[in-house]
Amino acid sequence: MNLNPARLPGQKSGKPVDKPVDKPVNKPVRLTDKYHREFPYLRLSVTDVCNFRCEYCLPNGYHRSHRPAVLTREEIRRLVTVFAELGVWKIRLTGGEPSVRKDFTEIIDMVAHIPGITTTAFTTNGYRLLANAQKWQDAGVTNLNISVDSLDPARFKKITGHDRLTEILAGIEKSLELGYGSIKVNVVLLKDINDSSLPDYMDYIRERPITVRFIELMQTGDNLAYFRERHQSAQVMRTALVKQGWTENIRRNGAGPAVDFTHPDYQGAIGLIAPYSKDFCLACNRLRVTATGDLRLCLFGDIGIPLRDLLQSDDQMPELKSRIITQLEHKKSSHFLAQGKTGLIPNLSATGG
Ligand code: SAM
Ligand code: SF4
């Protein structure tokens, strides 16, 4: 597989990624908690269905259950409108696999055009990216995150259950050509599976303006045995990066919990997301809503606040607004993952990672 194709038009080598991708709007964020954190960012799961079976997330694949139907487009419109009025300017659509929804492009188009929303992102396993990169960009996606847990096709297949690495990488190539504002590749760090793959990813981003983000494996309700076997601290990556001349970027005000490293010889950047590290939650800037309309104040929280009953007509929007503001007072200072408390979620496909 060619991991170093010709440079893209207009790219110069040796210049790390430095694009102003997130576009905060100049208006106050009304969502703040008692620890003085602001929440300008909403992650919205549009489905819990997924067609992959990543061994750390849905090892046996998705199974239909008798859960309520996912939010309709109208419900999503009301929800995002209210969050935007409360100062949210960045939305990430996630899942499950968001692109399995037949009306996914319409959802993007609608969300991206809600007044106040300036950054529309989504996280995908990339299986429909090659065919849809242009359409999704036209609909309004600015930021793309694609999960690629290995650059080795056999290992990729073992982790995800699908032999689709080549077409997913082709979809990323296409997205680069189209000039998406931000392209990130998510890699869940897995002991003895991909924790020695830093050189492969470095090669991959030498001439591509992509941020590769290594995410520490998180314990969920379903994956305790796997977690014990495969969890690897991101500290190993940090040590290797520093040793090879990568510099930790100064965090932008309001940036989320990822820590980014750059190097003058690489177009791309490397990010580390280490939820088990001390003080990870200090930089929390996001709220989540599940595919069936429950507000989650924390990915690993143990309360789900139903919002759906207030998404049934436009007249309910003021009430919805005050429910969100009131509930935010219950947001805790931190998750309790280190104590093994994983909260309500069986796996991340249920809430959206
Ligand atoms: N299906 C899409 C995908 O895989 O990109 C979006 C949903 S997925 C739940 C979002 C992100 O969460 C992915 O990057 C995935 O690798 C990550 N993820 C899933 N389970 C995880 C876990 N237990 N620990 C850390 N990251 C996890
Ligand atoms: Fe599906 Fe994403 Fe979970 Fe993989 S990580 S099983 S692609 S939801």
Residue 28 counted as domain residue:
no
Residue 4 counted as domain residue:
no
Confidence at residue 256, expressed as pLDDT on a 0 to 100 scale: 72
Residue 34 counted as domain residue:
no
Q: How far, in Å, is the centroid of ligand 2 from the Cα of 212?
A: 17
Measured by CA distance, the residue closest to atom 4 of ligand 2 is 54
Residue 135 counted as domain residue:
yes
Confidence at residue 26, expressed as pLDDT on a 0 to 100 scale: 61
Q: Is 172:5 a contact under the CB 8 Å cutoff? A: no
Residue 111 counted as domain residue:
yes
Q: Is 2:204 a contact under the CB 8 Å cutoff? A: no
CATH number of the CATH domain containing 49: 3.20.20.70
- What is the CB-side half-sphere exposure of residue 150 using CA atoms within 13 A? 22
Per the structure, the complete domain to which residue 325 belongs is given by: 41-351
Structurally, the chain folds into a number of domains equal to 1
Confidence at residue 350, expressed as pLDDT on a 0 to 100 scale: 65
Confidence at residue 17, expressed as pLDDT on a 0 to 100 scale: 42
Ligand 2 atom nearest residue 96's Cα = 8
Residue 5 counted as domain residue:
no
Ligand 2 binding pocket includes 52 (Cβ within 6 Å): yes
For 10-34, what is each residue's pLDDT tens digit? Answer: 343 333 344 445 666 666 768 888 8
Confidence at residue 12, expressed as pLDDT on a 0 to 100 scale: 38
Residues of the chain under the 50 pLDDT cut: 1-20
Pocket test for ligand 1, best of 188, 189, 193 (most atoms within 8 A of CB): 188
Residue 6 counted as domain residue:
no
Confidence at residue 339, expressed as pLDDT on a 0 to 100 scale: 64
The closest ligand to the CA of 353 turns out to be 1
Q: How far, in Å, is the centroid of ligand 2 from the Cα of 123?
A: 10
**pTM (2 d.p.):** 0.90
Confidence at residue 11, expressed as pLDDT on a 0 to 100 scale: 41
Distance CA 156, CA 44 (A): 27
For 209-255, what is each residue's pLDDT tens digit? Answer: 999 999 999 988 888 899 999 999 999 999 999 999 999 998 765 56
Residues with CB under 6 A from ligand 1: 50, 56-57, 94-95, 97, 123-125, 147, 186, 188, 215, 217-218, 220, 223, 348-349, 352-353
Residue 214 counted as domain residue:
yes
Confidence at residue 24, expressed as pLDDT on a 0 to 100 scale: 63
